[in-house]
Structure 1
Amino acid sequence: MPAAVSQIAPLLTPEAFALLNALEPYSEQDSLAMNLRLRKDGHAPELVSALLTQSRLRAKATAKFGEFAQDMLFTQAGLEQATRLSVAALHAERYLRAGVSRVIDLGCGLGADSLAIASLGVSVTAVERDEETAACAAVNLRPFPEAEVVQADATTLDLAPFDGVWLDPARREVSSSGSARLWDPEAFSPPLSFVEGLAAQSKAVGVKFGPGMPHESIPGGCEAQWVSVDGDVTEVALWFNALARPGVRRAALVTGATGSAELTSAAGFGESPEAQSGPVEGYLHEPDGAVIRAGLVSDLAERIGAHFLDPHIAYLCSPDPVDSPFARSYRILQTMPYNVKALRAWAKAQELGSVEIKKRGTAVTPEELRRRILPGKARKGGAHATLVLTRIGDDRVVLVVEPLGRG
């Protein structure tokens, strides 16, 4: 048996899969006892290892796949890159709205996006080069007759039969010592130039990249949408041709338990409204990471009537409170120059037991500063404070703030 499928192959029988589904929820402290019990029941060591590994991955996958995770198969690397099911559903809706009838998912990984597309009744062919990951995708997509899985190199296939293409390029380099993240879009598999070639054929093309993709790497003529889930920026998706919305060049989609909201701009990168600066007053606003990544902080400031404290740092301020899903807001209680000795004296006078430290525009390490201003054992039951470290021009300042509810 090839080493590449050693953790999945033992599970690819009806009996083994049923046994996996019958296991109690994974617990690290109970894993040894489960291992011993399964071996005592006569199961082969390689099956036991595969069962425990899969049970652990299913527990981790719940954050992305919810209850569906308990009937799926995963690899560690595949799970790390897999699209959250809620976000995959947004991708799938693009193809449905564009009237795409046949989608090919190149580099499908574990099949999250293909699952979402197939669930809308759209035909999808999921392509994955890695044998182990393709086996997982086949299991995960088995409930959907609209989906098929092909193990192949995405760059070698005839795409003529498909009017829609979705890509999630591999962005990690795997070696015997582990894996390392790649940053050059041309080093991805497949590379960005391959995506642009597909878009040039007028196909409905969508592609997912990491949220840190630099603006200068984003091709012209597409819509770039950054997505944030519960404050965590998960991706930037590029949409070409029929999948791109007219009049939208950049977008920040913010989703969470209370719903979703989107900030968009028709302007190109670097063409946002001029940043207006002003004094420290009233309320501080920390834009969502998707807004920052999309270069829409100035647009947000204009929208909510706020100003920058420093034109180069993504903190906004306003005299009155603001209720916006695009920013976390704080009431400013106090402002002081950054000085460790003075901060330590202040913390002592406030009888602090804990402190949250946020920062932008300064090299100060929050963990180190916390140790310096709260030396020794923290006071049990002591007060809590939130500090924001930032720079205004050449001055380093500390804002003592109080978090407000998020809109």
Structure 2
Amino acid sequence: MELETFEWLLTDAGQRLLESATHAYVDHAGDPVRSAAAVRKIEPDPDRSAAALTQVGLRARGVAKFGEDSLRMYFTPDALEQSTRARVATHRASRLAAAAPSSVIDVGCGIGGDLIAFARAGLTVAGVDLDPVRVAMAAANLAVLGLAGAAQVADGTSLDLSAFGAVFADPARRGARGRVFDIEDWTPPWSFVQSLLTRPSVVKVAPGIGHDLIPEGVEAEWVSEAGEVKEAALWSSYLATARRRATVIGDGGLATLTEEDDPYDGRERPVRELGEFLYEPDGAVIRAGLVTAVAAGVDGGLLDEHIAYVTADASFRTPFARGYRVLETLPYREKPLRAALRERGIGKLTIKKRGVEVVPELLRKKLSLSGEQEATLVMTRVRGEGTALLVQPF
């Protein structure tokens, strides 16, 4: 979308077209062809009609990230995809606000998703980005939600940031050719990120970041929402309260775990025999290297020194892992496993695996199961040996 077209959408005429496009989208159940035909009858200009309908579609998609706010916000497809989910951004903003910085600048603000969270947390906010359309959208999104803040076109890497109490950055890790794997090809590059981390700052990075890249004194926090790891955040030494942290956000609220909760941190990992219960740690816990903290929390140990499954003799409710009752151990090899599952009348099988060369989709096809029962099968190693466990979630 051109900046001129977006600015027109903000006019009274543009807002009326957006409203008409919304009705067309709903009336035609999101069908792009019929919705577009209806909108073009109202606005013949192809750029304006396309822009309005695109916004309506993106707003509908954005509800998963931004909730009801999305229905009033403005997006580009790429910016929506790259935006932080609202609950994750709210957590980060609340934590930053607790440090009480005088202000925060977002260097690479996109359409302003994080600016919104910072402003709602009571922070004085400003954002810069190289893309004039995204900057205009960020300003519009703050305004439409009744939040104070500023956004302007600028290169954050060339600004004097000393006037701000804290800096936030979310380096772009996608280019014209797709995902960027060289950290110096991020925008801004890793060298700039390192310079930010010498002052009060927090930087959002990919969850797969290597522990060896994390500078001394910087806290790495892995965050998951609804069981899916969403990001890692690097907190500079001015804001850090731990070395490694796993934060889990779910319907029950937020829970966090650090190395201080792990009595095995830096010690031999506790491996034990299979117990009556199995625990599958959340992805954020695994990324943060805090599986043994979960083991300690459920009074258990690991099935294998190198695999992120925990076993225990009692059932515990924990936000940091999903629990299963171990029903029985089945044959690990394919043919006897198939016979055992058929004998139990299992036709629908959920297969989980860690540490073994198993492709669940291929194995399920090879098993050719039929039956009325449903079951969950865990394929893993116990003390180095391939093992198949029939389990029941609790």
Tell me if TM exceeds 0.5: yes
Please tell me the root mean square deviation across aligned C-alpha atoms, in Å: 2.3
Q: What's the counterpart of residue 388 of structure 1?
A: 378
Q: What's the counterpart of residue 164 of structure 2?
A: 162
For residue 84 of structure 2, give the secondary structure of its aligned residue in structure 1: coil
1:235 is aligned to 2:231:
yes
Q: TM-score, normalised by structure 1?
A: 0.89
Q: What's the counterpart of residue 205 of structure 1?
A: 201
Question: Matched residues in 2 for 1:30 and 1:208: separation?
Answer: 36
The structure-2 alpha-carbon separation of the partners of 1:242 and 1:347, relative to structure 1 and needing over 3 Å to count, comes to: same
Q: CA deviation at 1:302?
A: 1.7
Q: CA deviation at 1:287?
A: 0.2
Between 1:52-61 and 1:329-338, the stretch displaced more is 52-61
> 1:204-353 to 2 correspondence within 5 Å?
204-245=200-241, 248-266=242-260, 271-353=265-347
Q: CA deviation at 1:145?
A: 5.7
Q: What's the counterpart of residue 33 of structure 1?
A: 34
Q: CA deviation at 1:121?
A: 3.2
Question: Matched residues in 2 for 1:272 and 1:14: separation?
Answer: 62
Question: Matched residues in 1 for 2:35 and 2:364: separation?
Answer: 41
- How many equivalent pairs are there? 389
Task: Write the deviation string for residues 257-314 of structure 1: whole angstroms up to 9, x where unpaired.
Answer: 111111112599x954421111122001000001000000112212221111111000
For residue 238 of structure 2, give the secondary structure of its aligned residue in structure 1: helix
Question: Matched residues in 1 for 2:362 and 2:147: separation?
Answer: 55
Q: CA deviation at 1:218?
A: 0.9
Q: What's the counterpart of residue 371 of structure 1?
A: 365
Question: Matched residues in 2 for 1:14 and 1:86: separation?
Answer: 32
Task: Write the deviation string for residues 347-396 of structure 1: whole angstroms up to 9, x where unpaired.
Answer: 32222231111111112111111111125xx55xx111101111234421
Question: Matched residues in 2 for 1:329 and 1:91: separation?
Answer: 28
Question: Unpaired segments of 5 or more residues in structure 1?
Answer: none
Question: Unpaired segments of 5 or more residues in structure 2?
Answer: none
Between 1:68-77 and 1:273-282, the stretch displaced more is 273-282
Question: Matched residues in 1 for 2:19 and 2:152: separation?
Answer: 25
Question: Matched residues in 1 for 2:325 and 2:148: separation?
Answer: 52
Residues 222, 241 of structure 1: 8 Å contact kept: yes
Residues 21, 70 of structure 1: 8 Å contact kept: no
Residues 128, 156 of structure 2: 8 Å contact kept: yes
Task: Write the deviation string for residues 212-238 of structure 1: whole angstroms up to 9, x where unpaired.
Answer: 111111111111111111101111111
Question: Matched residues in 2 for 1:242 and 1:291: separation?
Answer: 24
> 1:38-49 to 2 correspondence within 5 Å?
38-49=39-50
Question: Matched residues in 2 for 1:387 and 1:138: separation?
Answer: 50
For 2:253, the aligned partner's letter is G
Question: Matched residues in 2 for 1:162 and 1:281: separation?
Answer: 53
Task: Write the deviation string for residues 112-157 of structure 1: whole angstroms up to 9, x where unpaired.
Answer: 1111112233221111112332222122122456311111211111
Q: CA deviation at 1:6?
A: 8.2
For 1:39, the aligned partner's letter is R
The structure-2 alpha-carbon separation of the partners of 1:307 and 1:271, relative to structure 1 and needing over 3 Å to count, comes to: closer
Moved over 4 A (4+): 3-10, 25-29
For 2:163, the aligned partner's letter is P
Task: Write the deviation string for residues 159-199 of structure 1: whole angstroms up to 9, x where unpaired.
Answer: 12212111111111224xxxx22233332111232122233
Question: Matched residues in 2 for 1:28 and 1:212: separation?
Answer: 38
For 1:98, the aligned partner's letter is A
For residue 243 of structure 1, give the secondary structure of its aligned residue in structure 2: coil
